[in-house]
Amino acid sequence: MARYIVTGLNLLDQVVVEGGEPSPLQLGGSPVYGLSGMLLWTKDIAFATRAGEDFMQSYGAYLLKNGLSTAGVLPVSPSTPRVVMRYDRKGNSLRGGPGEDNSFWRPLAEDIQPFLGGETRGVYISCPPLGCDRFWEGFFRLWPEREFSLMWEPNPPSTGPGFGPATRELCRRVEMASFNLSEGCSLFGAPGEGELLEELRGLGLELCLLRVGARGIYLISGGRVCFAPSAPLPQGQRVVDVTGCGNSSTAAAMAAFWESGGDLAMTGIMANISSSYVLRQRGPIPLVSDGMREEARRLAQRLYREGWCRYL
């Protein structure tokens, strides 16, 4: 049993910046980035996903190096799916997510069942909304009432206007959700940031995130809205790759909300610190050491004391 569970679609990524050459294959997909962000704050995580038989050559080593079990990984094919992530020179995504049907590798709710118990506090998944992904039927059948929170983040191909009604319906049935600005405006038909904040505030979620890129995150809970600016980077540190920053901050926010007793300011600070570590290299944080955890905790405490966030 685990305090937190991460699931979703495993991918091996190649990153192409406009005008450049493809990067070597690297670990990708929302689960490993979500895991990477959460590892700064807790080790009590189950990684429950489907993958190819080549898993141990890629993801397996990463999990073991970070002290996690591979027991939650279910091989379903010879190879883990690949995808090319394309960005312009400013870091904006030109194409998000795989363009082909990848439902074969997507998890079933039953996949997380062995790791979910009375001590479980949160489950993170990025996938299509209600009626568009096989995960949901089993999830709501197995856990119609629950003491844990499910944090949902729409996957990029499911953020067009046509997915708006299914998104609203799902937000009535889960506890937490996370959107970036362009996704949210598209899904909810909002013309701008202010209007979207009001739409998200009206959803009544336990926790809702609105991610606004390099500026930071809005956190909405119980009618309150808090803005958390992005975490500062160490002097001389440059942004290498923003792939997975949304996944890492979203999953980290789920854990931080529980660990902080629902403190929105601390939740936002911890979430942004997670993404600030992910963008320092290609792929997820290679090794989350105890020293790195202590460094992150000290930074979170300092920013909180300094009043880094503001309530609106």
pLDDT of residue 99: 45
pLDDT, mean of residues 191-214: 96
* b/e sequence 214-249, b meaning 16+ C-beta within 10 Å: eebbbbbbeeebbbbbbbeeeeeeeeebbbbbbbbb
| Top-confidence residue, 27 or 7 | 7
Cα gap 266→299, rounded to integer Å = 11
pLDDT, mean of residues 107-135: 93
pLDDT, mean of residues 173-178: 98
Q: Which amino acid is at 302?
A: R
What is the chain's Cα-based Rg?
18
pLDDT, mean of residues 98-108: 68
Tokens representing 218 are 């809005």
pLDDT digits (tens, 9 = 90+) for 268-303: 999 999 999 999 988 899 999 999 999 999 999 999
End-to-end CA distance of the chain: 38
Q: Is 160 helix (H, G, I), strand (E, B) or coil?
A: coil
pLDDT of residue 92: 61
In sequence order, what are the beta bridge partners of 224? Answer: 221
pLDDT band at residue 97, thresholds of 50, 70 and 90?
A: very low
Beta strand extents in 98-257 (DSSP E only): 122-127, 149-154, 176-180, 207-211, 216-221, 224-229
pLDDT at residue 131 greater than cutoff 90: no
**Is-contact 130 173, C-beta < 8 A?**
yes
**Is-contact 121 152, C-beta < 8 A?**
no
Minimum mean pLDDT range among 92-96, 100-104, 126-130:
92-96
pLDDT band at residue 166, thresholds of 50, 70 and 90?
A: very high
pLDDT of residue 227: 98
pLDDT of residue 203: 96
pLDDT of residue 202: 95
pLDDT of residue 256: 98
Q: Is 262 helix (H, G, I), strand (E, B) or coil?
A: coil
pLDDT of residue 106: 87
Q: Is 165 helix (H, G, I), strand (E, B) or coil?
A: helix
Angle (nearest 5°) at CA 205 between 199 and 209: 70
**Is-contact 178 209, C-beta < 8 A?**
yes
pLDDT at residue 20 greater than cutoff 90: no
Cα gap 305→302, rounded to integer Å = 5
pLDDT, mean of residues 99-126: 86
In the chain, where the domains are located: 4-311
pLDDT of residue 208: 98
Tokens representing 172 are 């009535």
Q: Which amino acid is at 147?
A: E
Tokens representing 279 are 């963008």
Cα gap 130→167, rounded to integer Å = 7
CATH 3.90.920.20 fits 4-311, yes or no: no
Q: To the nearest whole number, what is the mean pLDDT of the chain?
A: 90
pLDDT at residue 101 greater than cutoff 60: no
